């Protein structure tokens, strides 16, 4: 009955009567259509629609308002693990997890009360359950279909397990990238703008993510301009290089520059339709720079202490050691100028000694007027920082224009009071901080300690050498000289017994040679001998005189008037050998039975008087008998020596020098 609109159409029978759903299988379509009174065109249209549903890539079903599945395509049955033709007549709840079934009935009733199209992916996280009980994520679109028999719903179901897994993996990757402290920037090679930034990039630059995605590298790479950036990335874009690395700075949102290390690559696309991007991995190297700076400071510190100590141990001057300390302290805190400052004698100027500026090897001494504030700093001997520079910086003097300045007192036993280490930066340089003061104070204290230890070790070495020289001198005096002296005295004793003049003359020549040998030995001994500083001057004089008691056969009389301990070291070095040589001459030539030694000191003069009751001086034999040495020693300390024959016999030596 084609075209008749009066033919009644019966509603589908209740699904409960045919649980297996075979009435709605493909083989019943035509029979059912005929039962419904459909003509051939309507039957053909029905078949086409059915085939369209079967060929759909998504699972499709038709359900009534009671949640009974009327029609399900093969894709849906396969998706849920059912055999073909076995889903029709089942409840939709059979496809839901148990926990969602109660709520789903309420959702279905509300939907049928207000049916509307719900597109797929409407922001719902939906789960479905297979026949074996396993669950999987789905997206479902709903479309109501209303006719005179009521409202049915067409549902399209899509298994999104793969997509969810990819999204989860992508999310994990992004979370991992965001967890790193390094910045990751993806840059469009055409627009040169950021298309992705991670949390590390946000923290490095101080810009929120949404702001960075409207920015370009030139907005934060302060060291680059358009041309330099093009020169950097062009080898990547052309394929000449696979990556480039560089060290530069990022300009933080707060205006501060952050040192960074950047690695840029241009990886191949993972899919033919995917766009390639430049990838920049950026590492903040602030901590590394700080660690390197600290390492350099430690190395400078240790090298400075080592060089100062070595300089002093090798015999260098103390002032040069102070200059080394100033140079290393200047390098420690990044100063450009160093000097050793003292308050001038007039109290109105500051004297800058060994003034050095930067790498300039030259040095200078300058004088500058000062104001009361600076004078007070110099007098208190406490560390001070003048970040505005020294008060004389703008006085028109010829000194350097100091910027931030640090004054550090030099405290040690070797350094005169009132001396300061001055360290300064150029004008418009960063100020000094408390950490700089602490660093320099610690370094100068350790340098001072190193200098004192080096000086003590140097003194110990010198003392050891002096002790060796003194021992050698004593051995030469006590052994060699005495043997020669005894030999000469023996020959002198033989002269009266020799009648032959030619033999007597020969013996006199030998005696003279022995005397010259003794004098030369004594000169040598004097050059290498030293005075034991542990003894007082009076003890040295007493020991020198008492040493001749044995060879004279009696003890010389010794008188000391004045404070012999106050005799200067340089005078004592000449006085003691003079006593030795004078008494030696008495032993060899005077034949005396009494010797008196007198040492007198007043405020300006030392006088040595040695008198004996012997034969006196033979005017022809005074020279060459060691007496010339006495005059020479007196002359060395600005003094004189006289030789006097007494009227009643005997001789006197008067040796004097200024104090």
Taking only the tens place, the pLDDT of each residue in 449-490 is 887 777 777 667 766 765 676 667 666 666 677 777 777 777
Q: What is the pLDDT of residue 478?
A: 63
Helix, strand or coil, per DSSP, at residue 137:
strand
Q: Cα(638)–Cα(580) distance, rounded to whole angstroms?
A: 20
Residue 541, judged by CB atoms within 10 A of its CB (0-12, 13-18, 19+), counts as buried
Q: What is the pLDDT of residue 577?
A: 84
Tell me how crowded residue 76 is: count the other CB atoms within 10 A of its CB: 23
Angle at 39 between CA 37 and CA 40, to 5 degrees: 140
H or E element in which residue 438 lies: helix 434-475
Q: What is the pLDDT of residue 238?
A: 92
> Can you list the residues of the chain whose pLDDT is less than 50?
1-29, 393-399, 624-625
Nearest partner of 141 among 122, 160, 125, 119, judged by Cα: 119
347-360 pLDDT, tens per residue?
677 777 767 776 55
Contact 15, 70 (CB under 8 A): yes
Domain 531-659 CATH (choose: 1.10.10.10, 3.30.565.10, 3.90.1200.10, 3.40.630.30): 3.30.565.10
Class of domain 15-159: alpha beta
Q: What is the pLDDT of residue 523?
A: 64
Q: Where are the domains of the chain?
A: 15-159, 165-284, 292-460, 531-659
Q: What is the pLDDT of residue 8?
A: 38
Cα 364 → chain centroid? 31
Q: What is the pLDDT of residue 403?
A: 84
Residue 583, judged by CB atoms within 10 A of its CB (0-12, 13-18, 19+), counts as buried
Residues 320, 323, 329, 330: is their CA dihedral positive or negative?
negative
388-421 pLDDT, tens per residue?
766 554 444 444 567 888 888 886 555 555 578 8
The pTM of this model reads 0.51
Query: Which residue's entry shows tokens 């074996």?
Result: 132
CA 643 vs CA 83, 283, 592, 593, 659: distances in Å: 146, 92, 16, 19, 22
b (16+ CB within 10 A) / e for 143-162: ebeeeeeeebbbbbbbbbee
Q: Superfamily assignment of 292-460 in CATH? A: GAF domain (3.30.450.40)
Q: What is the pLDDT of residue 132?
A: 94
Q: What is the pLDDT of residue 336?
A: 87
**DSSP summary character for residue 25:** S
Q: Does 15-159 match 165-284 in CATH topology?
A: yes
Q: What is the pLDDT of residue 648?
A: 82
Tell me the residue ranges of DSSP E strands in 419-501.
419-426
Q: Which fold does the domain 165-284 belong to in CATH?
A: Beta-Lactamase (3.30.450)
254-302 pLDDT, tens per residue?
999 999 999 999 998 877 777 899 999 999 999 999 899 888 888 888 9
Q: Which two tokens stand for residue 214?
A: 């409207």
H or E element in which residue 366 lies: strand 364-369
- Residue 158 pairs with which residues in a beta bridge? 139
Q: What is the pLDDT of residue 36?
A: 54
Order of strands across the sheet that contains 150-159: 69-72, 59-63, 150-159, 135-147, 126-129
Contact 367, 389 (CB under 8 A): no
Q: Which two tokens stand for residue 477?
A: 């005096």
| Longest distance between any two alpha carbons in the chain, whole Å | 190
Q: What is the pLDDT of residue 595?
A: 93
CA 195 vs CA 188, 253, 280: distances in Å: 6, 19, 12
């Amino acid at each position: 009955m084609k075209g008749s609109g009066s033919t009644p159409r019966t509603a589908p029978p209740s699904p409960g009567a045919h649980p297996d759903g075979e009435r709605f299988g493909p083989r019943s379509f035509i029979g059912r259509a005929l039962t419904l009174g459909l003509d051939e065109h309507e039957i053909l249209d029905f078949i086409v629609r059915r085939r369209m549903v079967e060929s759909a890539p998504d699972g499709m079903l038709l359900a009534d308002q009671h949640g009974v599945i009327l029609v399900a395509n093969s894709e849906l049955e396969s998706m849920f693990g059912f055999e073909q033709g076995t889903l029709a007549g089942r409840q939709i709840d059979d496809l839901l997890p148990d926990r969602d079934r109660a709520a789903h009935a309420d959702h279905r009733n509300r939907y049928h009360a207000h049916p509307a199209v719900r597109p797929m992916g409407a922001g719902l996280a939906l789960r479905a359950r297979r026949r074996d009980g396993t669950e999987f994520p789905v997206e479902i679109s709903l479309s109501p279909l209303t006719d005179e028999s009521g409202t049915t719903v067409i549902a399209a179901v899509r298994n999104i397990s793969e997509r969810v897994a990819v999204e989860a993996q992508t999310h994990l990757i992004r979370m991992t990238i965001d967890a790193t402290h390094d910045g990751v920037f993806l840059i469009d090679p055409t627009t040169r703008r950021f298309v992705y930034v991670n949390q590390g990039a946000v923290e490095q630059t101080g810009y929120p993510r949404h702001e960075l995605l409207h920015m370009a590298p030139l907005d934060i790479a302060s060291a680059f301009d358009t041309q330099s950036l093009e020169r950097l990335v062009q080898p990547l874009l052309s394929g000449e290089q696979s990556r480039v690395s560089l060290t530069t700075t990022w300009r933080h949102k707060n205006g501060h520059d952050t040192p960074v290390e950047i690695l840029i690559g241009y990886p191949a696309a993972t899919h033919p339709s995917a766009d390639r991007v430049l990838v920049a991995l950026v590492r903040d190297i602030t901590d590394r720079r700080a660690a390197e700076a600290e390492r350099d400071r430690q190395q400078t510190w240790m090298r400075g202490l080592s060089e100062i100590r070595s300089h002093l141990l090798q015999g260098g001057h103390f002032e040069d050691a102070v200059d080394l300390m100033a140079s290393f302290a200047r390098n420690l805190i990044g100063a450009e100028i160093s000097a050793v400052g003292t308050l001038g004698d007039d109290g109105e100027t500051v004297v800058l000694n060994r003034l050095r500026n930067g790498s300039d090897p030259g040095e200078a001494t300058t004088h500058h007027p000062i104001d009361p504030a600076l004078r007070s700093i110099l007098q208190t001997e406490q560390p001070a920082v003048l970040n505005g520079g020294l008060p004389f910086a703008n006085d028109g003097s010829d000194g350097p224009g100091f910027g931030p300045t640090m004054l550090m007192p030099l405290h040690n036993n070797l350094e005169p009071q009132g001396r300061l280490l001055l360290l300064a930066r150029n004008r418009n340089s960063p100020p000094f901080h408390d950490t700089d003061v602490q660093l320099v104070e610690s370094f100068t204290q350790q340098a001072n300690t190193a200098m004192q230890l080096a000086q003590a070790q140097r003194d110990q070495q010198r003392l050891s050498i002096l002790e060796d020289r003194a021992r050698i001198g004593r051995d030469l005096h006590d052994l060699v000289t005495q043997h020669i002296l005894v030999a000469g005295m023996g020959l002198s004793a033989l002269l009266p017994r020799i009648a032959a003049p030619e033999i007597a003359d020969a013996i006199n020549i030998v005696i003279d040679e022995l005397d010259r040998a003794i004098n030369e030995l004594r000169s040598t001994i004097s050059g290498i001998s030293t005075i034991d500083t542990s003894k007082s001057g009076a003890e040295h004089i007493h020991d020198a005189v008492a040493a001749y008691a044995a060879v004279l056969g009696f003890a010389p009389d010794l008188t000391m008037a004045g404070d012999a301990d106050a005799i200067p070291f340089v005078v004592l070095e000449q006085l003691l050998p003079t006593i030795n040589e004078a008494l030696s001459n008495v032993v060899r030539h005077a034949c005396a039975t009494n010797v008196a030694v007198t040492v007198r000191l007043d405020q300006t003069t030392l006088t040595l008087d040695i008198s004996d009751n012997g034969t006196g001086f033979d005017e022809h034999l005074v020279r060459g008998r060691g007496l010339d040495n006495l005059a020479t020693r007196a002359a060395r300390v600005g003094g004189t020596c006289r030789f006097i024959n007494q009227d009643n016999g005997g001789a006197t030596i008067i040796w004097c020098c200024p104090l």
